[in-house]
Structure 1
Amino acid sequence: MRGLTLGDAFGETWFFRPAETLETALVERRLKDGPWLWTDDTAMALSLLRILDRHGRVDQDALAAEFAGAYAADPYRCYGASMHDVLRAIGDGEPWPVVTRRQFDGMGSWGNGAAMRVAPLGAWFAGDLDTVVAEAVRSAEVTHAHPEATAGAVAVAVAAALSVRGVPGGELIEAVAARVPDGEVASRLRRATRFALSADPRHVAGMVGCGSLISAADTVPYAIWCAAANLDDVTEALWATALAGGDVDTTCAIVGGIVAARTGLAGVPEAWLAACEPLPSPLVMNPGQ
């Protein structure tokens, strides 16, 4: 959870900078002064973690209520436009299956929101990959009815579980792809396996996307490649992920969650930890308690 939050807050610092200086700042590794504030990626991951702690599994009705309650308490965490509508409607008492299935003319959202929050779930159930897949699906369905969004959540959760289990970076992407249902996310994961882990992240992003379209397919394969390429170093993983731009807070949140599931925050500079907005304590405390 702390790795996800660090990635989220670090990634958010790269928005709203002049385009002509952004890549130079990334290449030269010029950090923004703190505080680094976390976004909806962390807020929703915290809600999911609370439900796992409370129920030991994804209780979908409880998760929907937790998401809506956290949103109502703090709606200014850079939630996506469609998620404002979803969480307000759920908070107003509409059933979550009805709300999520009517998004985007009945197709449901295929955004990256279900993937950005799910790494702690993968670590939680790491001992049983079948359970990881099933619970990741359940966690996604509460807000994202489109199968590609669900596939993205499955991919990230499996990647985090495999990270915990010590699977080498060179094997990680193929192992994840084997657990993801056929579709665009799976196709781009297979495409990502063709790139050496020493490749320039910007080149990989050009081939598989880096979140600019905010879709699961455009976000998740790149993030998993970046994690696989830097599976033992959170700091290097986040620098590499940010280099390509795109939806940087979300790609970095995904990568931070996957890599820290293996390493913890060992080796992260103290200045980064001091700059990052702290999490609630204890982590699983209900905001209303």
Structure 2
Amino acid sequence: MPPGPAADTMCPMTTDTPPGGPGTGDRAAAHDSLSALALGDSFGERWFPLSHGPGNVAGAIRERRLPEPRHWPWTDDTAMALAVFAVLDRQGEVEQAELAREFGERYTADSGRGYGSGMHQLLPLLAETPDLWREKADALFGGQGSLGNGAAMRVAPLGAWYAGDPERAAAQAALSAQVTHAHPEGVAGAVAVAVAAALTADRDREPPARAELLAEVAGHTPHGAVRDGLLRAAGLAPGTAPAAAAAALGSGYRLRADDTVPFALWCAAGHPEDLTEALWATAAGLGDVDTTCAIAGGVVGGRTGVADVPAAWRERAEPLPPAFAA
């Protein structure tokens, strides 16, 4: 879908530069989250073909019919998540100039993964001059920076890396977002997703109820439209259907963080130990389906991994590059 002002949609891939050092966080949870993010991205992307008509797509989702064709490629959501994971694995934390370089190099190696207009403008510059990331990101969209959902879509593995430490996840997520998304709402979207992933991936804690988790995430999220959306999501009545939640919260049609993150996290928070159900619920909201499914998948997957997803999904979804094997 075409990006609007100050928004970027990011969708299929990357280079196979292997992650380096051991890092200092919960690598296993982060890798599980990365695998689930890529699966959700691949699954969600297949619901885009508009030639089938939105009614037919919604019906197929209700009937749990797997999307065709049988090969599900992932998009820029996964490509940029790979860059985040690689930097964490080498450095143990976000190093912004290095992350800018990773983004730029992966874009240069494979720019056809569905990146939005803002990233087509920014990432080639980061490949050439990564140390100037702040100047380049600040200049996007007439100097207001991007408030799109691109920083949020890639950040769940970072949150899982800091499993059980939502404060550190929030701070590191903000650093990761600023490299490409200078607008405060773009940053807030990334903070919310990372905090949700850090809380969900904490296997020493029982998953809280949906409303409780969303309220806790909102408490770590800067004031603004994303936080307001999280509080609305927390207040939705029990039993609300995904389509109704999407209508109330937005599901990414505007490609903005505040129009994407609350719904994706509402879906994840409702199924914190069932990745398959979380992804079906998220897809039912339509909208920017690859991105909402990448977010929900990454949040839930840091706790569950992908082993319990039906084998047919794993067979169809494009795997991670070999260098990112567990």
Give TM-score scaled by structure 2 length. Answer: 0.85
Cα gap change, 1:169/1:266 in structure 2, threshold over 3 Å: closer, same or farther?
farther
Q: Which amino acid aligns with 2:143?
A: G
Answer yes or no: is the 8 Å Cα contact 1:198–1:229 preserved in 2: no
* Paired residue secondary structure (2:323): coil
2:123 maps to: 87
Q: Which amino acid aligns with 1:135?
A: Q
Across the aligned residues of Structure 1 and Structure 2, the Cα RMSD in angstroms comes to 1.4
Answer yes or no: is the 8 Å Cα contact 1:169–1:230 preserved in 2: no
2:95 corresponds to 1:59? yes
Counterpart pick for 2:58 among 20, 23, 47: 23
2:168 corresponds to 1:168? no
1:178 maps to: 219
- Alpha-carbon distance in structure 1 between the residues aligned to 2:69 and 2:277: 19
2:309 maps to: 268
1:236 maps to: 277
C-alpha displacement at 1:127, in angstroms? 3.5
Q: Which runs of 5+ in 2 are unaligned?
A: 1-33
1:38 maps to: 74
Structure 1 range deviating more: 56-65 or 29-38 = 29-38
C-alpha displacement at 1:62, in angstroms? 0.2
1:8 maps to: 41
C-alpha displacement at 1:130, in angstroms? 1.7
C-alpha displacement at 1:280, in angstroms? 1.2
- Alpha-carbon distance in structure 2 between the residues aligned to 1:275 and 1:284: 17
* Paired residue secondary structure (1:104): helix
1:250 maps to: 291
Counterpart pick for 2:262 among 190, 200, 221: 221
* Paired residue secondary structure (2:187): helix
Q: Which amino acid aligns with 1:276?
A: A
- Alpha-carbon distance in structure 2 between the residues aligned to 1:36 and 1:235: 16
Deviation readout 1:161-214 (Å, 9 max, x if unpaired): 110124323321011000001000000100111113531011111111000000
C-alpha displacement at 1:238, in angstroms? 0.5
C-alpha displacement at 1:266, in angstroms? 3.4
Cα gap change, 1:263/1:161 in structure 2, threshold over 3 Å: closer, same or farther?
same
Matches within 5 A, 1:80-159: 80-93=116-129, 95-159=132-196
Provide runs of 4+ in structure 1 moved above 6 Å: none
Answer yes or no: is the 8 Å Cα contact 1:197–1:228 preserved in 2: no
2:86 corresponds to 1:50? yes
1:73 maps to: 109
Answer yes or no: is the 8 Å Cα contact 1:11–1:242 preserved in 2: yes
C-alpha displacement at 1:284, in angstroms? 7.7
Answer yes or no: is the 8 Å Cα contact 2:252–2:292 preserved in 1: yes
- Alpha-carbon distance in structure 2 between the residues aligned to 1:197 and 1:212: 24
2:237 maps to: 196
Q: Which runs of 5+ in 1 are unaligned?
A: none
Structure 1 range deviating more: 134-143 or 96-105 = 96-105
Q: Which amino acid aligns with 1:137?
A: A
2:228 maps to: 187
